Structure 1
Amino acid sequence: MAKEKKFITCDGNTAAAHVSYMFTEVAAIYPITPSSPMAEHVDEWAAKGRKNLFGQRVSIQEMESEAGAAGALHGSLQAGALTSTYTASQGLLLMIPNMYKVAGELLPCVFNVSARTLASHSLCIFGDHQDVMACRQTGFAMFCSGSVQEVMDLSAVPHLATLETSVPFINFFDGFRTSHEYHKIEEMDMEDIRPLVNPEYIKRFRDRALTPERPVTRGTAENPETFFTHREASNEYYDRIPEVVEKYCQEMTKITGREYHLFNYYGAEDAENVIILMGSATEPAREAIDYLNKQGKKVGMVAVHLYRPFSVDFLKKALPATVKRIAVLDRTKEPGAEGEPLYLDVKSALYDDERKPLIVGGRYGLGSSDTTPAKIVAVFKNLELPQPKNHFTVGIVDDVTFTSLPEEEEIPMGGDDLFEAKFYGLGADGTVGANKNSVQIIGNNTNKYCQAYFSYDSKKSGGFTCSHLRFGDSPIHSAYQVNTPNFVACHVQAYLHMYDVTRGLRKNGFFLLNTIFDGEE
């Protein structure tokens, strides 16, 4: 008899923490936006006595810096405790020295990262892939989810794979766009995952713990004649990872009924133009692909889940046999490089492919720049040109170096059953909190699917906020801000003169203004 599905309304951080808690004995933590809620949830659950897979409460240690959290994690792993951490942005960068050691010593663990921008010409607290891309050389495997439901479904995969392969993992998803987006999703149950945990792998890890009973030599210094040889000895551990991760993706497919692979293909079976990307933009890309395929285009997408090690074989299998042109989209910028990381990986992977596709690359979504279906349509239109633009940007107007693609008009993608609303407020005025309550009440007490995303400016308290809510009868893939609302509420009268608050309001839509004036005035 099939188990009854349990739905909850939560954000991506909650989903990641929910699964991470199951596999964790010790959590070494330090707060940084937008990853802090993961550690807060784990701390709260431990305080309330929640048990992990091993029937224990997680031991929480808050350190005085991210470097301290990484050092504590490293020491805890050496002592044989299953240890996790939660971080982002500069916090992740401060962990890099320890990450090299943890990977080099083959200590299984998972860093849960809500991927965020790095400070360059200015600070930006919002989301893109710059932080995780700065870690791809550390020896950590890297696994990505693109939606709140995927975070729930797939976060167990790196935890299971790290135990089997001994290689540590970064489990990442887009900061804010996924970490803080509320969604009605199907919950992953601990009893679903328990049969997948092999006690032998945990015993193997524990048997390697430092103990006076079994003394070993670790952390030596090596000279040229041995260092290179020993460094290469880890290859066999990395060679196994793609097959192991694919195996666990298949297990998640069996549990959830949703199809998961290292590289997930979506679109026309005979697609000629294909985009390759990872993270939350894969959701609006689905909508754009459905829209274009209905018009008779032959387009598709490859969504990347396992980014490191990058499996050439699995990528080639995921691409349709008919592919002629590929656009690779990176959510990061590497000044001075010949191209961004994912673009260069794909070019390298397909250099000898018999299909010989034309490959171009572009940047999108830096600093949480909103990625809508119209932006994806612009990428496909570029691919149709006789000579597609390479090293392009999408989502901005670049009038300095002219990298940007022409803008496309926004297209309402939700069906007739989708209700969209926007609420303009002031940081700490209660608008965001009330909307979080509303979406949870509707999600948990009706059959409606729901989604809520809250855009802030970086001042947070006292700054501008806009809440974007959607409700409908079918799953919602619109991982971008509401552009064509049915309902708009403005809680700050002054915004009427500062922002175009009614922009995009649909015909017969409603506008509600919170004002000090009465109706006559």
Structure 2
Amino acid sequence: DELQKDKPKNHFTVGIYDDVTHTSIGYDDSFTTEADDVIRAKFYGLGADGTVGANKNSIKIIGEDTDNYAQGYFVYDSRKSGSQTVSHLRFGPRPIHSSYLVNKANFIACHQTVFLEKYDMLSDAVEGATFLLNTPAGPDEVWDTLPREVQEQLIKKKMKFYVVDAYKVAREVGLGVRINTIMQTCFFAIANIIPKDEAIAAIKDSIQKTYGKRGEHIVKMNFDGVDRALNNLHEVKIPDKTCGLNHRLSKIRIQPPVPDEAPDFVKNVTGMMIADKGDQLPVSAMPIDGTFPTATTQWEKRNIALEIPVWDPNVCIQCGKCSMICPHATIRMKIYDEKHLEDAPETFKSVKARGRDFPEGSAFTIQVAPEDCTGCGSCVDICPAKNRTQPGLKAINMQPQMPLREQERENYNFFLGLPDYDRRKARINTVKGSQLLRPLFEFSGACAGCGETPYVKLLTQLFGDRAIIGNATGCSSIYGGNLPTTPYAQNEEGRGPAWSNSLFEDCAEFSFGMRLAIDKNNEQARELLQELAGEIGEQLAKEILSADQKDESGIYEQRERVKVLKEKLKTISSPQAQRLLTLADYLVKKSVWGLGGDGWAYDIGFGGLDHVLASGRNVNLLVMDTEVYSNTGGQMSKATPRAAVAKFAAGGKPTPKKDLGMMMMTYRNVYVAQVAIGANDSQTVRAFIEAENYDGPSIIIAYSHCIAHGTDMTKGFSHQKDAVDSGHWILYRYNPDLIKEGKNPLQLDSRAPKISIEDYAYQETRYKMLTLSKPEEAKRLIEFAQEDVKTRWHIYEQLANLDYSQIPDAAD
């Protein structure tokens, strides 16, 4: 059609609405070349629920066991588990050459009920298509739980409708949230591609191949899930639009992708991406310079948690551990004047604040962000407060999200309006004090129960309003800076972390460059300030140049002075004054951090990390050690411990874990700490503050449990205590400033091992699976691992007992 025009476009695009250079040409989006005998299926799942893996297995089963040709394409963003996945599958009697996604589906499965509120997934269904829904509602109740738009399309397109409560089945057989085999069984039962008995046999054979190495109990749980799936699968009768049942159409509607109070850009651009309609955006909607706003995860409202934590103020001891440990910053705490409760919602909870630090009349609240919580349950696991009247309950308890969503949304919005605690008054070197500070890293796309994100969140609470962050490519860069939303946020003054993503290998050098630039700008600013002191005021210049910025009060006062300085500079027209105006903010202390995982720090970027720490410059490095290349699929790194199974170490890693902290201590002028927030949160807070206060290079190595370990993520933080108690992970702080006082710089913050390495390790699949595939080798390696623990502890104990009274300061 385009070529038949008098002046056809010489260059063109199809599918992109180019309203800037006008190169796009129109097309008929209803056009299709696919025959009716091709099964075209779409499956909407949640990352880590097993949907993608199950569909890959379905392709193998159908492609190998039938005469059908098969094709699969899987769409998911680069965020971690917990984000939406869409599987596009085709099966047919002829070779399939379609190089595009399914847009005319005759089978659609929704594995997460909440997706019905967010996505118009039935718009791609053809007339007579089949819809399979995972829902807790039974076949007689489900119709009234559907959004009106879904009901109308089911009726209009004369679709078949089936429901199954896959999560109920999964819980009953011990699979947790892994519903993949259950939903896969339902698909085969409905689609009739293979006779039902043959399909179930093929599914079980695939289960045996996939999970056999993980133990017979894992295989049995999946088998039980398959067997129970069909008993819980029900067809739902759809009302005929001619039978006078219009009154049964729902009042529930598909929700807008972001709330109405969101900024215009978020509503018009980010919201379209969230709704899976980003391809419909015109080119003119994109930012000219490629920058996107921060603090946008707060508008996403994913609602992926089946259960959320509920606070019991009568049991709570106000320790702050639940807030500290929350991987997604969805549990917050505030202490405020009780006068602010006058307009509180009826269900808003508060209690009198405990502690001598707080004035009379102070109220305390712990509040959950119900639509942002991932339901990991880590807060409940870590809570130390027990309900004495109801055994089994704590100060935080999980309850179904849906009945609580509306009231807790109102409560959370009210909570956000309460004043933040004054940073200058908070004892930020304590767990409770640090958790009174607003997190400037929130609602990320990390896995539910992630072991890394609490460290990033804590960093932003302590230093986020003046932090400059370089982030190595890996898990932390994916959940930290991924379209369409950004978890790094801003405080009420609009301050927040300045974040940038480096390459995988050069995070330390990248952050080092930031430090050099900041120091140079600070140097220039100080020179110009001295030069202009006569015009600005000698006293103000002197106070700025000699300011003590070691604590929050000092930083606040310096900011106030710089604010006055900038106002005075606006009245001076000289080039020096205008230059100083652009540099004045560098007179306030900046905190430079490089973040990344063990793949960067121990392996790929080790040379740069070593160079930067050896430079003596004030750069802080945070290594979130998952002991494996988490982002790329679980490959072995030098941080992987002996006896653990990983990719490239299928027979168990034969060599010990690299001791990065010990290596960096040999410089004697590098602050080094090894922490585990779940084992000792107070030590973790102290380490972060000491590292940032130390005027020189620092490195914090943080134990980070990971879904790749094959551990129960709900209990991941309490499991960190096992890692410490076994001696696998020694807690310590090495502070070179103590050498100046004649003290030993190494302080051990954990005690001698009190459980065996086996007691710790065999709670994780990465160790346990070797006992099934190679039991003799597993026994040999775990014995070596136990010796590693004994040797390492013996060395550290000796170093911590050295007498430094006669040892000169290495920094001199």
TM-score, length basis structure 2: 0.23
Rg larger in 1 or in 2?
Answer: 2
Greater helix percent: which structure? 2
Question: With CA pairs under 8 Å and 6+ residues apart, which has the higher RCO, 1 or 2?
Answer: 1
TM-score, length basis structure 1: 0.32
